[in-house]
Structures are given as structure tokens and as C-alpha cells.
Amino acid sequence: MNTEEQQQPDLKLFMILLGSKAPGRHVEQHDFFFGIAASLKELVPPINTFWPEAIGKIHIDGWREVTAVDGYQVKIAPAAPEAAVGKKLFFINLGGYLPNRFEEQHYVVLTVKDDRAAAFKEAKETTFFKHNHFDGANSHIDDKYGIDVDDLYQIEDILSAGQKEKYRIELIPATDLPEDELHLGYFKLNLL
């Protein structure tokens, strides 16, 4: 191992739930951000770039280091054009409704599949998808009116351009992986 490899920080994939009462909004808005870094603090500048209209008003409502999904260990590796094509990591944001609740319910899925069609099929099999709807208010994969496979995101596609150029996500089959720890609460960016 050369000196550069020894000094390389342990990079991780972070999934972050951002919140903000951005200017002109009446209620707090949310979005998911995925980034690669050695620590959560290193992602503050990319988060501000991701949501520029909310700079100074952004906080974190939850985060996780994505290390294990569907029996695969998630690792970050340098980008390589010759990298083997195989399983992919997908993010799905499901939306649905319950009678007499004046709000949309959400359920987030991370899954490892061969392609978008397989990820879409899994999303439709979730308990959330099957039970968070009623006549006239169907469940859907968010950002569309109805169900459309185009609303699934392959994680590597939604990373920043700079991160896509430098890194790739490796999915390594593994058994007995511990579940990722979810960190929930109100975390101010300036205190990370």
C-alpha cells in the first residue's frame, strides 16, 4: 500500500434529511441529500450548494451513514471507467394518503436491485404502498401524479457532479451486516 492510500480518509455515503423554512414558505420544507465524505461536517458546503435559496436556514432532521442495504455492504471507491456493471443502489420516495388526514404521508426506501424496473416492483410491494391510499387518492412514487418508474433515483445519478467524477459506489454481498444507525433530531449545520 502506498503512502497516498494510507492517508486516504475512510469515505462514506451519507443520506441526509434536510429541513428548512426557506424564505417565502409558511411551513418547513424537506428534501433528501446524498453525499460522500469522511464526516458529516465536510458535507456542509455541498448541502448549501444543493439548496441555495435556503442557505442560513437549513438544518438536518435526520441522517445515516449508508453502510448496509439488502444484504450488501456499501463502500465508496475511486471512479473507474472499467468498473463492472452490476447491482445498483436506488432511492425511492413513496407518497400516499389516509382518509381524514390533510397531509401526504411519506415512506423512503433504499434498495439494491439490477435495474429500475426491479426497484419499482419492490416499491409497489411495500405495506406503505398497499395501504396508504383510498378511492380518489392513490399512492404514488413522489414527484409524479400516478405511478411512474422514472421517479426512482439511482444514488450515483443524484450525487453532485464533482462526486460522480471522483467516486463510485461498490455493493459487496455480505451476511450478518448490522443495520445502519438512524440519527434523528434537530441538528444545526453550523454546529456540526
**pLDDT confidence of residue 95:** 80
pLDDT at 130: 74
Buried (b) or exposed (e) across 87-124, using 16+ Cβ within 10 A?
bbbbbbbbbbbeeeeeeeeebebbbbbeebebbbebbe
Q: Can you give the pLDDT at residue 143? A: 52
The pTM for the full model equals 0.85
What's residue 84's pLDDT?
Answer: 67
Residue-by-residue pLDDT tens, the chain, 192 positions: 444 444 457 999 999 999 999 888 899 999 999 999 999 999 999 999 999 998 889 999 999 999 999 999 999 999 987 766 789 999 988 887 778 888 878 788 899 999 988 988 888 787 877 777 667 777 666 554 343 333 678 999 999 999 999 999 999 999 999 999 999 999 998 888
For every residue of 108-125, DSSP letters joined together read EEEEEESSHHHHHHHHHT
Q: What is the pLDDT of residue 149?
A: 34
